Structure 1
Amino acid sequence: MAQIEVTGLTRSFGELKAVDDVSFTVPGGLLTGFVGGNGAGKTTTMRMVMGLLASHGGEVRWDGQPMTTAIRRRIGYMPEERGLYPKQKVLDQLVYLGELSGMTAADARASVAEHLERFGLADRAGERVEKLSLGNQQRVQIVAALMTTPDALILDEPFSGLDPSAVDSMVDLLREHASRGIPVLFSSHQLDLVERLCDRLVVLAHGRVVATGSVSELRGAGPELYRLTLGGDAGWVRDADGIHVHDVDGSTALVEPSDDAARQALLRAALDRGDVVDFARQMPALSEIYREVTA
């Protein structure tokens, strides 16, 4: 399966280095989430990958070969700044965009009809874009990126403004495209959605990659925390050897053992004192990991 490879991308605007030696891969068949705060460099990086913005260093490769204009034309791209014609009717506009990408009018019309149906917009096909709500305009923009059966997808905040039903439709479509073996890269501020949806993550902060990997890999790379819940008060845990206590609240303690021996000793001590209701590893949420690596 083909993949997108980004190596050492750099871009400055005056004195500001917006993207600083950014490297990552977007493997075929996987959903890769691009995560970072405002100004982290996500949009600038995506524009450089698409050739819309010149880089000041680094390169982008497609399946090991330099990225070309011809390859980029086969990528479904959804920009941060939407590019619809507000006065034009939805169906006419999407068919036109499909023809620009090389589809026949008949194929474009069939693909548009299918995608509009899936997004609940079939009855709005004859309306001008400006008459649609912002959320529905977002759906039309998504259709424009997906309708051509692209060889890859690069989507900048595709879930912004979508209601839960449209989010579900979008998730299904992205998974269908990934199942064809294509690389899918999308940015999002909705960390709960990213955690549920993505196979891999690339986390950006201040123009640099600060973490990459699967959600489980990133969650497992943090400190090894355990939640201990007792039948009585857990305050005594503060004095246990080899245990760093993060929090104690009544009968529950959140602890970080220094090693496995300390963990086992803590459990034995708890059992000697009475009932142990629960003692389990606590995996951090993606939001916690994000705050830690971008601090």
Structure 2
Amino acid sequence: MTKLSPGPQNGAAILQIDHVTKVFDTKTVLDAVTFDVKRGEVFGLLGPNGAGKTTLIRTILDIFRPDTGTIALFGRTFSDDIKDAIGYLPEEGTLDKEIGVLECIRYFASLKHVEGIDKKADAWLARLTLADYKDKKIQDLSKGMHRRLQFILAVIHEPAVLILDEPFSGLDPLNMKVLKDILLDLRAKGTTIIMSTHQMDEVERMCDRILMLNAGKVVLYGKLDEIRQEFGLSIELRYEGTLPQLDNITSISDSGNAAEIVVAKDADTQALLKTLAAQVTVKKFEIKQRSMNEIFLEVAGK
């Protein structure tokens, strides 16, 4: 097998998608999707259910072929040696419930030509608190344990690119933290991570850049900070009195004595505070960047 290294050229494009379109029957699931993923970054794939995220992942993996457009991974088209350099965690996966946990790891690792399988398997089982279950059958695992085993299968061969479809599905908060820490460790070692998730808080903590799809089209793409700046600021307001008419605001949610105000991108927040202070008693005026959850809801709603 040709071993493709995860580094050291951080910043160069490792994946390039150029005007990829995919149609099933008469429905366009991917519509001229264009973006790239940099080597060594955590890249988030966002979008509501049915937006095209899983289809995009399967197209990258050569499970589906695009009807138009091109995909380049490591600067070339898909091939067997590229396949061995990719780890993939599907959103839902079925494993043979009658086989043992260690036997399952050995089988999948052999498909990726892994050497020293048992030693690596023991290390991963310990790290994901599954060591006591290595001789158990898969049918004996809980949903969360099954998910952690699937993650081991995705990383046992030390892939240069790791593609994760809803990686935190079925995990409790403790195991979510364990998995997040592992992903950040892999990133520090140069692994490129492409992650589809609805966990917006994890997107904000982990992702360098994101792509958001809606109805198969790219609706957001870029660095998180730049995207937040485009969507203006949010003000948490507590007050006494009656709110006046306000200028340069995008939306307001007023529950009486408390309000959440979204201001336009270039609004003067100090002028807004002066306007409010002249009309009501201001108890709290906190300016915040808008969260990815708020931005997601706004864009998906459109």
Shorter-normalised TM range: 0.7 to 0.9
CA-to-aligned-CA distance 1:156-200 (integer Å, 9 cap, x gap): 122111122221121111111111222101112222333333222
Deviation at 1:153, TM superposition (A): 0.3
Task: Measure the CA separation in 2 of the matches of 1:248 and 1:28.
Answer: 44
Structure 2 segments unaligned to the other structure (5+ residues): 1-8
1:64 aligns with 2:71: no
Task: Measure the CA separation in 2 of the matches of 1:53 and 1:245.
Answer: 41
1:98 aligns with 2:105: no
| TM-score (norm: length of structure 1) | 0.87
User: Which deviates more, 196-205 or 144-153?
Assistant: 196-205
Partner of 2:4: none
Partner of 2:19: 8
* Aligned counterpart in structure 2 of residue 279 of structure 1, from 257, 278, 285: 285
1:134 aligns with 2:143: yes
Partner of 2:295: 289
Q: CA RMSD in A?
A: 2.5
1:28 aligns with 2:39: yes
User: Which deviates more, 246-255 or 25-34?
Assistant: 246-255
Number of residue pairs matched by the alignment: 290
CA contact (8 A) 1:195 1:215 kept: yes
Task: Measure the CA separation in 2 of the matches of 1:258 and 1:48.
Answer: 38
CA contact (8 A) 2:251 2:262 kept: yes
Deviation at 1:83, TM superposition (A): 4.3
CA contact (8 A) 2:231 2:265 kept: no
Cα distance 1:13–1:279, how it changes in 2: closer, same or farther (>3 A)?
same
CA contact (8 A) 2:28 2:216 kept: yes
SS at match of 1:92: helix
Partner of 1:159: 168
Larger Rg: 1
1:42 aligns with 2:61: no
| TM-score (norm: length of structure 2) | 0.86
CA-to-aligned-CA distance 1:238-294 (integer Å, 9 cap, x gap): 2x5666772444444444566878644443344556864433323322222112112
Cα distance 1:155–1:256, how it changes in 2: closer, same or farther (>3 A)?
closer
Partner of 2:223: 214
User: After superposition, where does 1:94-243 map in structure 2 within 5 Å?
Assistant: 94-104=105-115, 107-230=116-239, 232-233=240-241, 235-238=242-245
Task: Measure the CA separation in 2 of the matches of 1:161 and 1:255.
Answer: 35
CA contact (8 A) 1:28 1:178 kept: no
Task: Measure the CA separation in 1 of the matches of 2:39 and 2:298.
Answer: 29
Task: Measure the CA separation in 2 of the matches of 1:222 and 1:265.
Answer: 19
Structure 1 segments unaligned to the other structure (5+ residues): none
Deviation at 1:117, TM superposition (A): 0.6
Cα distance 1:26–1:268, how it changes in 2: closer, same or farther (>3 A)?
same
